[in-house]
Amino acid sequence: MKIVLIGAGNVATHLGRKLVETGEKVVQVYSRSLPNAAELANSLGAKPFDDLFGLTAKADLYIIAVSDDAIAEVVKKLGQMPLEEKLVVHTSGATPSKVFESAPTLERTGICYPLQTFTKGKPIDFSEVPICVDAAQPADLEVLESLAKKISQHVYHVNDAQRAWLHVAAVFVNNFTNHLFEIGHSILKKQQLPFEMLLPLIQETVAKLDSGSPKAMQTGPAVRQDWTTTERHLTMLNGRGDLQEIYRILTKHIKRTHADNWKH
């Protein structure tokens, strides 16, 4: 397959590398900044470009991997190019397929959303990344599924509604969890303790999920109904901005989630 990458950021970089590694040909890489496009393009044996209208119409697949807010604008521009018979996909979990409606000339559209957190300089085993695919036409779904299976062992057909909820879930388990790590980090820093002390706990919290559901693995004062401890913590967090509220909300939610267990 000849592929054009529109975007030269985190996802374009990781996806581009993996596609090339598996034998696909990335022919062009777009960025608004030519040096950015060139940096990725050179590593993939592709040509860089910084004007979308300089895009080749001779590729088979166009992957839009730009910031969510820029997808609509890029789609609109692609709609003005002779790409009627070409497959155009975006990589966003948060953006519905409706975004392609602004370019009715694009008849073959889809989504290829890799469900992982990507950062340019941080290597990742792409074969373990779940890839969520969807397409406007069944034949294109097959194309995307077979391409995705070349780069990952975990490929799912996920529709728009499912993907939107998947993204909400991803924000909870990744973005919010990481923010909780940051809270832990700042609490320890104030006590002149190293964050490394929490790392085995963090790692075991995730490792334990191999043995059972998150609900089954829950520990801590809220699930034990140790209300003296939770009250003590709330008192300690008095005057510490939002921390007391976050603690209270999460404790209440754990309590509700496990209320059924206590009835029996």
Ligand X SMILES: NC(=O)c1ccc[n+]([C@@H]2O[C@H](COP(=O)([O-])OP(=O)(O)OC[C@H]3O[C@@H](n4cnc5c(N)ncnc54)[C@H](OP(=O)(O)O)[C@@H]3O)[C@@H](O)[C@H]2O)c1
Residue nearest to ligand X (CB): 9
Length of the chain measured in residues: 264
Q: How far apart are CA 189 and CA 235, in angstroms?
A: 20
Stretch touching ligand X by CB under 6 A, among 10-18, 104-112, 191-199, 240-248: 10-18
Phi-psi region at 96: left, alpha or beta (left = phi > 0; alpha = psi -120 to 50): beta
What backbone torsions phi and psi does residue 109 show, to the nearest 5 degrees?
Answer: -125, 165
Nearest approach, Cβ of residue 53 and ligand X (Å): 13
Kindly identify the residues of this chain, within the stretch 71-100, that bind ligand X according to CB under 6 A: 73-74, 91-94
Stretch touching ligand X by CB under 6 A, among 9-17, 177-185, 201-209, 224-232: 9-17
Q: Which is nearer to ligand X, 52 or 198 (CB)?
A: 52
Kindly identify the residues of this chain, within the stretch 104-123, that bind ligand X according to CB under 6 A: 113-114, 117-118
Query: Looking at the DSSP assignment, which residues form a beta bridge with residue 62?
Result: 4, 88
* H helix or E strand, kind and range, residue 157: strand 155-157
Nearest approach, Cβ of residue 41 and ligand X (Å): 12
3-class DSSP assignment, residue 218:
coil
Q: Which is nearer to ligand X, 94 or 254 (CB)?
A: 94
Kindly identify the residues of this chain, within the stretch 33-72, that bind ligand X according to CB under 6 A: 33, 36, 65-68, 70
Cβ 1 vs Cβ 25: under 8 Å: yes
The count of C-alpha atoms lying within 13 angstroms of the C-alpha of 101, restricted to the half-sphere facing its C-beta, is 5
Nearest approach, Cβ of residue 195 and ligand X (Å): 22
Query: Which residues bind to ligand X, rule: CB under 6 A?
Result: 7-12, 31-33, 36, 65-68, 70, 73-74, 91-94, 113-114, 117-118
